[in-house]
Amino acid sequence: MAALREPARPRPLPEVSVRSGDPDEACEVGTRVFHSHRVTVLGDASRFAMTLDAAALGPLTVGWLTYDTEVRIASAHDGHYQVNVPTTGTLAATSAGQEAVAGPGSAVVHVPDRAAVFTGWATSAPVLALRIAQPALEHAMEQLLDRPLRRRIDLDLGMDVSTGRGRQWLALVRSMASDLADENSLVRQPMVAAPFAHSVMTGLLLTAVHEYRDELAAPVAAAGSSVVRRGRDYIEANADQPLTVADIARACGVGVRGLQHGFQRAMDISPTEYLHHVRLRYAHRDLVVADPATTTVEAIAHHWGFTHRGRFAARYRERYGVQPAETLRRRP
């Protein structure tokens, strides 16, 4: 079997915030941030303006795109997948003989290097736009399948994001679009960035319609107890690193789903949940020995990848019976 490709680690890039009333400039900015395209103004040309707020996290670029009048965009999505979700109104898209109309509860999904045309912004409102580098998404699929891909992932043009997994996935992308606007956001920190980007990509693959969907839904053999022990040891030794479940599976020499089923069968817990438990234990250790005059609960929580102070405090209290601030103040 051919070796699975090693992914590049997500790396935060500077954000872009632009408003332009010049169609040529708007096209240039959109091409630089997302993909090459042509814009045709269908509505009132005197009202034309484009607003784009976007930021990147490794293989992902996410942003809010608005036109003040109706436009038609022709594009090819060079080497990237693209998902567009209107907040109000609709986007009508065509590509390779497929047609789809997206509204607030649905999305249009474009695959790399395939010509597409979409029309929208009859009502001026932001569209949530996500771009994913083709090698990164293909690597995420290889990790899920535990085998190399033989051809490109052809995602269907339309995708439901109103219920179930689709709704959960959209909430994840929305949170990224909001958090990346803050240059100090925790999602930009390496401990958080890698798992977050991985979750966005695998979530898309488990939500969208494509030829591998049945294979992903098929049962796989659970990893054995010795593999689960190796996974636990690897987590214990590397809990301070920006681990994803794919990293753990690769270290154990098994597929992601096999590892997940093995942990669930042996421990009634997922590898990610076990990682959180280990990090909580290490955070407790640090709180016990830290000097409250020189450190804070928030600093220790962030060091161990806990991005939400309230949820960290709740989990800590459930585990140790006190608030983390109480442990910090009880320095021996």
DSSP 72-112: EEEE--TTEEEEEEESSS-EEEEETTEEEEE-TTEEEEE-T
Q: Which CATH class is domain 12-198?
A: mainly beta
Cα 68 to Cα 126: distance, rounded to the nearest angstrom: 10
Task: Tell me which amino acid residue 326 is.
Answer: E
215 in helix, strand or coil?
helix
HSE-CB for 54 with a 13 A CA cutoff: 24
Between β-strands 60-67 and 50-57, what pairing exists: parallel, antiparallel or unpaired?
A: antiparallel
Contact 176, 10 (CB under 8 A): no
Residues 6+ apart with CB under 8 A from 40: 71, 72, 73, 74
Q: Which of 19, 104, 22 is nearest to 54 (CA)?
A: 19
CA 85/CA 108 separation, integer angstroms: 7
- pTM of the shown model: 0.82
Are residues 127 and 82 in contact, defined by beta-carbon separation less than 8 angstroms? no
- Residue 50 to residue 65: CA distance in whole angstroms: 7
Domain boundaries, the chain: 12-198, 274-329
Query: Would you write out the chain's pLDDT as a tens digit for each of its 332 residues?
Result: 333 333 333 333 447 889 999 999 999 999 999 999 999 999 999 999 999 999 888 899 999 999 999 999 999 888 999 999 999 999 999 998 999 999 999 999 999 989 999 999 999 999 999 999 999 999 999 999 988 898 899 999 999 999 999 999 999 999 888 877 777 777 878 888 888 999 999 999 999 999 999 999 898 888 999 999 999 999 999 999 999 999 999 999 998 999 999 999 999 999 999 999 999 999 999 999 999 999 999 999 999 988 888 889 999 999 999 999 999 987 55
Tell me how far apart the alpha carbons of residues 158 and 110 are, in angstroms, rounded to a whole number: 9
Please give the DSSP secondary-structure letter assigned to residue 48: -
Distance CA(267)–CA(274), nearest Å, equals 9
Question: Rounded to the nearest 5°, which phi and psi values hold at 27?
Answer: -65, -40
Per-residue CA distances from 137 to 31, 87, 134, 325 (Å) = 21, 25, 5, 41
CA distance 298 to 186: 12
> CB under 8 Å, gap of 24 or more: what pairs does 261-265 form?
261/220, 261/221, 261/222, 261/223, 262/222, 262/223, 262/224, 262/225, 262/227, 262/228, 262/231, 263/223, 263/228, 263/231, 264/222, 265/222
Which pLDDT value is given to residue 332? 58
CATH architecture of structural domain 274-329 = Orthogonal Bundle (1.10)
Token code pair at residue 125 = 């409102």
Residue 34 burial class via C-beta count within 10 angstroms: exposed 0-12, middle 13-18, buried 19 and up: buried
